[in-house]
Amino acid sequence: MPVACQDCPLRMLPCFDDLSEDELQFMTQFKSGELDVAAGTPILVEGSKSPQIFTVLRGMGLRYKTLEDGRRQVTNFVMPGDFIGLQAAIQSEIGYSVDASTDMTLCVFRRSDIWKLFRMHPSRAFDMTWLVCSEEHFLGEALTTVGQRSALERIAWAMVTVHDRASQLGLVHNGVMNFPFRQQDLADALGLSLVHTNKTLAKLRERDLLTWSDGMLSLRDRESLRQIAQLDDTMPPKRPLL
Amino acid sequence: MPVACQDCPLRMLPCFDDLSEDELQFMTQFKSGELDVAAGTPILVEGSKSPQIFTVLRGMGLRYKTLEDGRRQVTNFVMPGDFIGLQAAIQSEIGYSVDASTDMTLCVFRRSDIWKLFRMHPSRAFDMTWLVCSEEHFLGEALTTVGQRSALERIAWAMVTVHDRASQLGLVHNGVMNFPFRQQDLADALGLSLVHTNKTLAKLRERDLLTWSDGMLSLRDRESLRQIAQLDDTMPPKRPLL
DNA sequence: CGCCCGATTGAACTCACTCAAATACTGTGG
DNA sequence: CCACAGTATTTGAGTGAGTTCAATCGGGCG
């Protein structure tokens, strides 16, 4: 049974912009349905033209690109509130794949309605562009991390970034969050080998900076991790939700 | 003396979408001026809120991010037709810096007019979003390159990508293009050290795959370079010009 | 129990880094 | 016109961070 936008549990979170009554009504009719997928399901496939666009309501996933010989670059961890698939709607093809890492619920939009959104609801079009800019910004950060930071710095960066994101979404309880990924996923996100990722994680664990086992992640000392990562401590602004 | 959009030399290139009479007229009044800068001038500064947005008319530059300790990640080479600074207009701050590597001419827009564009000209707003998606796509490619490819593959990838882009813009003459960057810039773009970049370039030169000296780049064997880079050979689609 | 998958650990190797110095070029001032 | 400083490229040598190979361990499941 689909959730009405009116009752969207994400909408209530303080990290998201408020919606006007008008916008809310528009979104309700813009939303074409809901999709439930099991862990492991591919949601978007690189190079395809998906007729659908999604907002993540629940669960987590992986966004990645692959080379012909099988090497894989994870470009982001997908979390609730993320808007995925717009590339396919605006250009002809999509440049990345998304797989579900846990069971997920997705809010579905028709790509053919995008144009209507731009014409009829400029404020929502603006918000959509905001989200793409935001993703662009993140990829710039990730590129800088993989290009310039050492293995220890990369992992510290990833953990603080992921944790902060989850924290915004109210997914951290008593300092612990669900982190349903494999070490191989983290390695592929940071351009490191699995073995070295494992050994570097062990170092952070020995120093008692974090714990991660059985899919549960806890930052024991976020401040130290932040410093290792040379990450500045700015509160992210409120963001739009589509 | 500013160029009228009507007479914009870029507009005529086959790689750009056609504009309707209506759109053309709107752009002319949307354009608030022209800016000429000398090589070496900073155009945008990370973290600032520039009141201006630009389209590059002429010349090349560097887009990059820096860490506190001085490490630098070049995130793109800036070329004519590129639209820069939107992040600052849509969010409050900009996430990267841009410096001019040659003398450049920029088409200037007021950030305060962006909202008007979304409200009054949805087709241009759509095009703007297209461009951001495109940049997002590129950053995904770059991240994959830096995260997964070897030094030889990275350099081959960068050279083919840059050359193809210049080719689209009609900047390649007799197989030769202007490439006004230092080896340090390329190294910072690919997450490699200067020394290793130099030695890897030498290997490609020895194999007679490319030549690059005095700011002139020529791909002697694009096909081999493309294969080394594991880069697929798809024609880029026509793109919007703002 | 046996199998599969993911995490962990050890050992050897190598790609890419740092350090260092030489070369080449350009602009500046005497 | 030459000396000099500053910047970019090139090359050599030694080092090290991260890789690959390989084996083990542990939990979940048919």
Structure tokens at A99: 């797989």
Calpha distance A67→A96 (Å, rounded): 11
CATH number of the domain to which B202 belongs: 1.10.10.10
A195 and A102 belong to one structural domain: no
A153 and A75 belong to one structural domain: no
Asked if residues B189 and B74 have their Cβ atoms less than 8 Å apart, the reply is: yes
Under the banding of pLDDT at 50, 70 and 90, the label for residue A50 is confident
Residue A174 lies in a domain: yes
What residues 20-59 of chain B have any CB closer than 8 A to a CB of chain A?
none
Residue-wise pLDDT for B22-34, tens only, equals 999 999 999 999 9
Asked if residues B171 and B178 have their Cβ atoms less than 8 Å apart, the reply is: yes
Calpha distance B177→B166 (Å, rounded): 7
Residue B56 lies in a domain: yes
| Domain final position from A87, A121, A155 | A121
Backbone Cα Rg of chain B: 18
Q: Is A125 in CB contact (< 8 Å) with chain B?
A: yes
Structure tokens at B238: 């026509």
Q: Is A236 in CB contact (< 8 Å) with chain B?
A: no
CB A71 within 7 Å, strand C: no
A53 and A117 belong to one structural domain: yes
Looking at the complex, report in whole angstroms how far the Cα of residue A44 sits from the nearest Cα belonging to chain B: 15
A153 and A100 belong to one structural domain: no
Residue-wise pLDDT for B36-92, tens only, equals 999 999 999 999 998 899 999 999 999 999 999 999 999 999 999 999 999 988 998
Closest by CA to B228, choosing from B215, B218, B219, B217, is: B219
Range of the domain at B13: 5-144
Residue B234 lies in a domain: no
Strand D nucleotides where any atom sits below 7 Å of a protein CB = 8-13, 17-22
A81 and A152 belong to one structural domain: no
Mean pLDDT (chain B, rounded): 95
Calpha distance A157→A134 (Å, rounded): 18
User: Which residue of A74, A92, A118 is the best one to mutate when testing the B interface, meaning the one whose CB has the most B CBs within 10 A?
Assistant: A118
Calpha distance A161→A229 (Å, rounded): 10
Cβ-based neighbour number of residue A14 at 10 Å: 7
Residue-wise pLDDT for A142-181, tens only, equals 999 999 999 999 999 999 999 999 999 999 999 999 999 9
Asked if residues A220 and A209 have their Cβ atoms less than 8 Å apart, the reply is: yes
Residue-wise pLDDT for A92-120, tens only, equals 889 999 999 999 999 999 999 999 999 99
Domain total for chain A? 2
* Helix (H) / strand (E) containing A141: helix A122-148
Residue B116 lies in a domain: yes
Q: What value, to the nearest 5°, has the Cα angle with vertex B138 and ends A117 and B51?
A: 65
Cβ-based neighbour number of residue B66 at 10 Å: 15
Instruction: Specify whether the backbone of A78 is left (phi greater than 0), alpha (psi in -120 to 50) or beta.
Output: beta
Q: Which of residues 183-202 of A touch strand D (CB under 7 A)?
A: 191-197, 199-200
Closest residue in chain A to residue B46, using alpha carbons only: A137
Contact A118 B134 (CB under 8 A): no
Looking at the complex, report in whole angstroms how far the Cα of residue B190 sits from the nearest Cα belonging to chain A: 7
A14 and A72 belong to one structural domain: yes
Under the banding of pLDDT at 50, 70 and 90, the label for residue A5 is confident
B212 and B130 belong to one structural domain: no
CB A213 within 7 Å, strand C: yes
B184 and B109 belong to one structural domain: no
Q: What share of chain A is helix, strand, coil (3-state, %, to 5)?
A: 40, 25, 35
A154 and A113 belong to one structural domain: no
Q: What is the pLDDT of residue B1?
A: 63
Edge-to-edge, what's the strand order for the sheet holding B104-110?
B31-37, B104-110, B52-58, B83-84
Please tell me what DSSP assigns to residue B209: S
A101 and A48 belong to one structural domain: yes
Q: Across residues B154-172, what is the average pLDDT?
A: 98
Residue-wise pLDDT for B183-239, tens only, equals 999 999 999 999 999 999 999 999 999 999 999 999 999 999 999 999 999 989 999
| Domain final position from B122, B144, B166 | B144
Residue B241 lies in a domain: no
| Domain final position from B102, B128, B144 | B144
Asked if residues B166 and B177 have their Cβ atoms less than 8 Å apart, the reply is: yes
Question: Which percentage of chain A shows pLDDT scores above 90?
Answer: 93
**A64 forms bridges with which residues in the sheet?**
A74, A97
Measured CA distances, B97 to A117, A166, B35, B223, B241 (Å): 32, 28, 17, 33, 22
Under the banding of pLDDT at 50, 70 and 90, the label for residue A1 is low
Closest by CA to A231, choosing from A239, A222, A242, is: A222
Residue A62 lies in a domain: yes
Looking at the complex, report in whole angstroms how far the Cα of residue A1 sits from the nearest Cα belonging to chain B: 32
Residue B181 lies in a domain: yes
CB A199 within 7 Å, strand C: yes
B14 and B115 belong to one structural domain: yes
Measured CA distances, B34 to A241, B28, B52, B98 (Å): 36, 12, 11, 17
A76 and A176 belong to one structural domain: no
Q: What is the pLDDT of residue B50?
A: 86
Residue B212 lies in a domain: yes
Q: What is the pLDDT of residue B5?
A: 84
Mean pLDDT (chain A, rounded): 95
CB A139 within 7 Å, strand C: no
Closest by CA to A215, choosing from A184, A187, A180, is: A180
